[in-house]
Amino acid sequence: MNNRDLDGKQRILSVIANNFSRQDIKKNLNISNDLMDAAGKYSRSNGPGCIAISKPIVTQSRISEVKDYEFEAFFADKDNVSMSSYKVGSKTNLPICI
């Protein structure tokens, strides 16, 4: 099974995946259980034999930009953090991560 491309065996098998039992397909075509599962899922999501729907890439941020800025400002403030255990950059006067 080619995980990077949604055509080929998986697409062809999606046409017959729901019409025959798993035992019949396994016996006659000699394919893996993973490929049968993937073909069934492909058939349900895209339609039997159809071209795969291109899905948008979604990137999510768990914290908003405002909260991220407030977090950075809080820990950069010397009143809130004891700087005695950290090395501080001479130019920026910010903690240095090692």
Task: Quick: pLDDT tens for 26-85.
Answer: 888 888 888 888 888 888 888 887 877 777 788 887 888 899 899 999 988 877 776 555
**C-alpha span between 95 and 98 (Å, rounded):** 10
Q: Is-above-0.75 flag for pTM?
A: no
> How would you write 51-65 as a 3-class SS string?
CCCCCCCCCCCCCCH
Mean pLDDT of 15-29: 83
34, 17 Cβ separation under 8 angstroms: no
pLDDT tens-digit series, residues 77-91: 877 776 555 677 788
